[in-house]
Amino acid sequence: MNDVSFTPSTTIFEQREALLEEWTPEELVGRDQELQQYHAALQPVINNETPSNIFLYGKSGVGKTAATRYLLQALERDAMAVDGLDLHTVEINCDGLNSSYQAAVALVNELRDPASQISNTGYPQASVYQFLFDELDTVGGTVLIVLDEVDHIEDDSLLYKLPRARSNGDVTNAKLGVIGISNDLDFRNQLSSKVRSSLCEKEVSFSAYNANELKLVLEQRKEVAFQPDTLDDGVIEMCAAYGAKDSGDARQALDLLLEAGDLAREQKEEIVTEDHVQQARERLQTDQVIKGIKNYSEHGQYVLHALTHLAETGETPARTRDVVGAYEQIVREEGFDPVSERSVRDYLGELDQLGIISSTEINKGKGGGKFKHYELEQSLTSVRLGLSELLDSG
What would the pLDDT profile of 19-75 be if each residue is shown by its tens digit?
Answer: 998 888 888 999 999 999 999 999 999 999 999 999 999 988 899 999 999 999 999
Domain boundary among the residues 245, 278, 293 is at 293
Domain match, 158 and 305 both:
no
Indicate whether 393 pLDDT > 70: no
CA separation for the pair 294, 49 (Å, rounded): 49
Tell me the CATH number at 240.
Answer: 1.10.8.60
Question: Is the residue at 329 inside a domain?
Answer: yes
Name, in order, each residue with C-beta under 8 angstroms of 52's C-beta and a sequence gap of 6 or more: 41, 42, 44, 177, 201, 202
CA separation for the pair 60, 244 (Å, rounded): 13
E strands, 70-227, in order: 87-93, 141-148, 174-182, 202-205
Question: Is the residue at 219 inside a domain?
Answer: yes
Question: Is the residue at 4 inside a domain?
Answer: no
- Residues β-bridged to residue 371: 362
pLDDT in tens, 252-275: 899 999 999 999 999 999 999 999
Domain match, 180 and 286 both:
no
pLDDT at 184: 83
pLDDT in tens, 360-389: 888 877 766 778 899 998 888 888 888 888
Domain match, 200 and 95 both:
yes
Domain match, 124 and 192 both:
yes
Tell me the CATH number at 383.
Answer: 1.10.10.10
Domain boundary among the residues 257, 274, 293 is at 293
Name, in order, each residue with C-beta under 8 angstroms of 109's C-beta and a sequence gap of 6 or more: 117, 118
Q: Which of these, 45, 46, 4, 12, lies nearest to 266 by C-alpha position?
A: 12
Residues of the domain holding 233 = 209-293
Question: Is the residue at 146 inside a domain?
Answer: yes
Q: Which of these, 102, 164, 156, lies nearest to 133 by C-alpha position?
A: 164
Tell me the CATH number at 169.
Answer: 3.40.50.300
Which position has the higher pLDDT, 325 or 9? 325
Question: Is the residue at 2 inside a domain?
Answer: no
State mean pLDDT over 94-110. Answer: 94
Domain match, 52 and 187 both:
yes
pLDDT in tens, 311-351: 999 999 999 999 999 999 999 998 889 999 999 999 998 89
Question: Is the residue at 106 inside a domain?
Answer: yes
Indicate whether 1 pLDDT > 60: no
Poorest-confidence range of 56-60, 74-78, 133-137, 223-227?
56-60
10 pLDDT band, cuts 50/70/90, is low
236 burial type by CB count under 10 A (0-12 exposed, 13-18 middle, 19+ buried): buried
Which position has the higher pLDDT, 297 or 110? 110
Question: Is the residue at 22 inside a domain?
Answer: no
30 contacts 209 by C-beta, under 8 angstroms: yes
Residue 87, helix vs strand vs coil: strand
Which position has the higher pLDDT, 185 or 178? 178
Domain match, 194 and 326 both:
no
Domain boundary among the residues 228, 262, 293 is at 293
* Domains held by the chain: number: 3
Domain match, 269 and 312 both:
no
Domain match, 96 and 192 both:
yes
Domain match, 181 and 38 both:
yes
Domain match, 279 and 319 both:
no
2 pLDDT band, cuts 50/70/90, is low
Indicate whether 187 pLDDT > 90: no
Indicate whether 6 pLDDT > 80: no
77 burial type by CB count under 10 A (0-12 exposed, 13-18 middle, 19+ buried): exposed
Global confidence as pTM: 0.73
The rounded mean pLDDT for the chain is 90
Domain match, 67 and 200 both:
yes
Q: Within its chain, how far is the Cα of 9 from the centroid?
A: 31
146 pLDDT band, cuts 50/70/90, is very high
Domain match, 55 and 134 both:
yes
pLDDT at 274: 96
Q: Within its chain, how far is the Cα of 306 from the centroid?
A: 31
Give the long-range contacts of residues 14-20, CB within 8 A, separation 24 or more.
14/224, 14/225, 14/226, 14/227, 15/224, 15/225, 16/225, 16/258, 16/261, 17/225, 18/221, 18/224, 18/225, 19/221, 19/225, 19/254, 19/255, 19/257, 19/258, 19/261, 20/254, 20/258
State mean pLDDT over 113-134. Answer: 93
Question: Is the residue at 258 inside a domain?
Answer: yes
